[in-house]
Amino acid sequence: MKAIIDGHNDLPMQLRGRYGYRVDGLDEPRPELQTDIPRLRAGGVGGQFWSVFVPGDLGEPEAVVATMEQIDAVYRLAAAYPGDFAIACGADDVERAVADGKIASLIGIEGGHSLATSLGVLRAFARLGVRYVTLTHNENTSWADSAVHESRVDGLNDEGRAIVREMQRIGVLVDLSHVAPVTMHAALDTAFAPVIFSHSGARAVHDHPRNVPDDVLTRLRDNGGVIMLTFVAPFVSAEARAWSLAAEAEWQRLGPPPSPADWPRAPRPGEDLSTMPDWPGPDRLVVPEYASWLAANPRPPVTVAQVADHVEHARDVAGVDHVGLGGDYDGTTELPDGMGDVASYPLLLTELKGRGWSDEDLAKLAGGNILRVLRESERLAQEPLWPLSPAR
């Protein structure tokens, strides 16, 4: 089994919403989550980029505060389980953690709104160990265009190009998942170091806005970056996307019951966590009309083989040195059959092994390629700002 270094996991968001940031009990099976320590071990995960996501429609100052809280949750997670997790800020840290039998815990910010259009905030996050920033989430920022909205700045404006250059100057990876193709090209025009896609698919396999076109994959090869293929079913399968859109339309037609705010507030000092509002809202399955619709309209199957199709297409266009894995666990409820949690990576590697992938190429996919990108980013950084570990 190759050590997996996964590009994107939203456990910190779930810890906030479900448990008020409590981290206890993750060393035991947690079926309400897609991630816990036993299943990380079963999946062969040796490194994880924990997403510190906050919604893109938060005001920028509020987004900075919430992102700080998410980063704190990652550090508290690692502190609570020192035998299982180790904070990692660079390639050497990752290799050291894996050698020690721990899961290297890296931090990725999912959305440039968390920077509040401030290079000072970016540099402060880098000093806290943030190793990538996704330029947008599902909303445009004032300086970058997302994949699901009309372009406003032709990809990147001058501020956006300055942010990309500063990210690479200080050794923070530029993540192009969630951005529009015009933004992908603009970032590649600006980049002097490798970029990544932390959790995306291949658009030639399925024409979804969140997937990456072949002309970008070709440029990614020349840039030296990596696309980390995701497992999100609507990104993998056109049939699954059509079903997901139909299911959401039916839910809206029924008139969904009132629910708490989309983004749960953090616990206040001294607050009894049992009094906090539930999240992510009412279970849709308890609405009889909606449950009946689901029973009559089951989701089309999405298979491990279809995920492998995306991986192989990206390999064929960008090259085997430029692919990785970014499952998006605990960030979606729609996953391929049999791949419902972080124990599932061996299923994909077994599928690819059956298609003729060598052990060497599987090791590159599993984690070798993103480790190379981390190391190259460090080499090219003019003023790396991530914290120095005691070993350094």
Return the structure tokens found at 180: 């529009």
pLDDT of residue 387: 75
Residues of the chain with CATH 3.20.20.140: 4-237+302-380
What is the pLDDT at residue 390?
A: 41
Per-residue pLDDT at 280: 56
Residue type, 224: G
Class of domain 4-237+302-380: alpha beta
From 305, 313, 324, select the one nearest 372 (Cα to Cα): 324
* φ, ψ for residue 274, nearest 5 deg: -70, -15
DSSP code at position 388: P
- Tell me what pLDDT residue 2 has: 80
Reading the block at residue 188, the tokens are: 């590649």
In a structure prediction context, what are the per-residue pLDDT tens digits for the chain, which is 392 residues long? 489 999 999 999 999 988 999 999 999 999 999 999 999 999 999 999 999 999 999 999 999 999 999 999 999 999 999 999 999 999 999 999 999 999 999 999 999 999 999 999 999 999 999 999 999 999 999 999 999 999 999 999 999 999 999 999 999 999 999 999 999 999 999 999 999 999 999 999 999 999 999 999 999 999 999 999 999 999 999 999 999 999 999 999 998 766 555 678 888 898 887 777 666 555 677 788 999 999 999 999 999 999 999 999 999 999 999 999 999 999 999 999 999 999 999 999 999 999 999 999 999 999 999 999 999 999 999 888 877 544 44
Helices 119-127 and 60-80: crossing angle in degrees, nearest 10, is: 0
| Strand, helix or coil for residue 391 | coil
Contacts with 350 (C-beta within 8 Å, 6 or more apart), sequence order: none
H helices within 170-276, ranges in order? 181-190, 214-223, 233-236, 238-254
Please identify every residue annotated as catalytic: 8, 10, 110, 137, 178, 199, 328
CA distance 137 to 56: 6
Whether the pTM exceeds 0.85: the reply is yes
